[in-house]
Amino acid sequence: MKTKISTFLLAACCCVSAFGQQNFEQYFTPKSLRIDFTLNGNAESQMAAIHQLREEPVWGGPQKNLIDPFNYGGYYINVYNKQNNELIYSRGFNTLFEEWRTTEQAKNETQSWTNSISIPYPQVPVVIEITARDKKDMQFHPLLKQEVDPTSIFIDRSPLKSNHTVKILDNGDSKDKVDLVFIAEGYTAAEQDKFVADAQRFTEALFTTPPFDTRKNDFNVWAVGAVSEESGTDISGKGIYKNTALNSGYYTFGVDRYLTTPDMKSIRDAVWDVPCDAIFLLINAETYGGGGMYNFYACGTADNPRTPVVFTHEFGHSFAGLADEYFSSEVAYEDFYNTAHEPWEPNITTLVDFGSKWQDLLPAGTPVPTPLDENTGDKLGVYEGAGYQAKDIYRPVDHCMMRDYGPFCPACSRSILRMVSFLSDQTVE
Ligand SMILES: [Zn+2]
């Protein structure tokens, strides 16, 4: 297993360096092809279907790092040159639907959820493929494969409503910067100044947190002022419903503080003309809450005293694919990780393939697993308890940002820095 993963990573890294700007210009234009698709299913099975394709005017993602080397997430979008089947773009991501599939409800109900992913706009006929990871073997298997002719009249090209957008942090051209986009949720027309001030406060919180503080110059930050009819968000467990731009609410999967939205289409509509590598939904509410899924979105409330730090934690999920390092949880997941396999997240391990994780960072002589006592804990080790389970899953330090808002541990920090490099078109070390 170890050799296999290492070989995969090596091969993928070679692809990244061999696949440069020239290839971007050969195959793509700096616009986006937005793919809206549904995922339908239940605990047992899932299928994908295209809902619509859209041409959108900007591409903020990398132009050199076109092949995703990380092997993160529950899904991959793969794009092949139709003429010779060469892989010309790929990117992993998570969805809220896959979390729902692990709940009790998914054992009794079948649902359809809307998702959306954007790729650079192809210049040549391509085949797009959506694959999903099967927890039974942790491998990706095809869900959907479809040819796309970029000149097709079936691709929607209509402009959408432009939201008032403020560039909070400007470090230059989007193609070699990480474009972090805050979207207003639950802010009325009269509350838009508050939104920009809130987004600025969160930006400051992020860039005073290591390791983000060392890479501020690699980011642009945007605040997209989507306007809601009503202020706040749904609290369905208390009978409160608000008419808001992105349809967010607490009580996701019945958990009171789990604040998300299933409405990926409205999110993508809000940023259709904004370059975008990472999305944070800033929700105009006070009660503690939030969530984050890798390369999907993260969200949190603006006005709770703890929220700048909650934001950083949730951004760790959505930006760098980090797992929760805590292991007592009211979250309604059942057997979220299959401990017979190595999880894909870089900051937890089942020790099935620890060599693919932070083993190379461990000080010499560190016992694996590492017993927790007054002399360990803050030192990098392999401590039992992580990923919602007290047994058989291990975390790098006792108290990381991904457990209970301590500083990001060395394993998390390295993963964040690698993602900053990838998205800002630098070499991934
Ligand atoms: Zn960590």
Do 138 and 18 fall within a single domain?
A: yes
Q: Assign residue 168 the CATH number of its domain.
A: 3.40.390.10
Look at residue 365 and tell me if it is in a domain. Answer: no
197 alpha carbon – ligand 1 mean position (Å): 29
CA–CA separation, 55 and 342 (whole Å): 38
Do 17 and 153 fall within a single domain?
A: yes
Look at residue 333 and tell me if it is in a domain. Answer: no
pLDDT of residue 336: 77
Do 259 and 282 fall within a single domain?
A: yes
409 alpha carbon – ligand 1 mean position (Å): 4
Do 70 and 206 fall within a single domain?
A: no
93 alpha carbon – ligand 1 mean position (Å): 20
412 alpha carbon – ligand 1 mean position (Å): 4
Look at residue 64 and tell me if it is in a domain. Answer: yes
Residues facing 47 on adjacent strands: 40
Domain count, the chain: 2
What is the Cα Rg of the chain in Å?
21
Question: Which of 134, 166, 175 lies closest to 423 in space, CA to CA?
Answer: 175
Helix (H) or strand (E) holding 120: strand 111-122
pLDDT of residue 9: 44
Do 86 and 187 fall within a single domain?
A: no
Residue numbers of the domain that contains 217: 164-320
DSSP of 379-394: SS--EEEETTEEEEEE
405 alpha carbon – ligand 1 mean position (Å): 10
Look at residue 335 and tell me if it is in a domain. Answer: no
372 alpha carbon – ligand 1 mean position (Å): 16
398 alpha carbon – ligand 1 mean position (Å): 9
Q: Assign residue 133 the CATH number of its domain.
A: 2.60.40.3250
pLDDT of residue 13: 45
Write the CA distances from 378 to 58, 349, 412, integer angstroms. Answer: 44, 18, 14
pLDDT of residue 331: 55
The pLDDT tens digits for 63-87 are 999 999 999 999 999 999 999 999 9
Do 137 and 180 fall within a single domain?
A: no
389 alpha carbon – ligand 1 mean position (Å): 15
209 alpha carbon – ligand 1 mean position (Å): 13
225 alpha carbon – ligand 1 mean position (Å): 32
Look at residue 428 and tell me if it is in a domain. Answer: no
pLDDT of residue 328: 78
Do 72 and 200 fall within a single domain?
A: no
Q: Classify residue 423 by its DSSP letter.
A: H
Place of tokens 């051209």: 173
Given 157, 187, 208, which residue is the final one in a domain?
A: 157
pTM of the complete model: 0.93
397 alpha carbon – ligand 1 mean position (Å): 7
pLDDT of residue 215: 98
Do 56 and 140 fall within a single domain?
A: yes
pLDDT of residue 160: 98
Given 269, 296, 320, which residue is the final one in a domain?
A: 320
**The dihedral of CA 405, 411, 417, 422: what is its sign?**
negative
Task: Give me 355's structure tokens.
Answer: 């060599």
Do 59 and 192 fall within a single domain?
A: no
CA–CA separation, 215 and 229 (whole Å): 37
Do 143 and 187 fall within a single domain?
A: no
362 alpha carbon – ligand 1 mean position (Å): 14
Look at residue 150 and tell me if it is in a domain. Answer: yes
Do 182 and 202 fall within a single domain?
A: yes
3-class DSSP assignment, residue 263: coil
Do 129 and 176 fall within a single domain?
A: no
**Residues whose CB is less than 8 angstroms from the CB of residue 328 and which lie 6 or more positions away in sequence, other chains included:** 390
215 alpha carbon – ligand 1 mean position (Å): 18
- pLDDT tens, the chain, 429 aa long: 333 333 344 444 444 444 555 699 999 999 999 999 999 999 999 999 999 999 999 999 999 999 999 999 999 999 999 999 999 999 999 999 999 998 999 999 999 999 999 999 999 999 999 999 998 999 999 999 999 999 999 999 999 999 999 999 999 999 899 999 999 999 999 999 999 999 999 999 999 999 999 999 999 999 999 999 999 999 999 999 999 999 999 999 999 999 999 999 999 999 999 999 999 999 999 998 889 999 999 999 999 888 888 899 999 999 999 999 998 765 545 567 889 999 999 999 999 999 999 999 999 999 999 999 988 889 999 999 999 999 999 999 999 999 998 999 999 999 999 999 999 999 998
pLDDT of residue 330: 55
Given 320, 355, 377, which residue is the final one in a domain?
A: 320
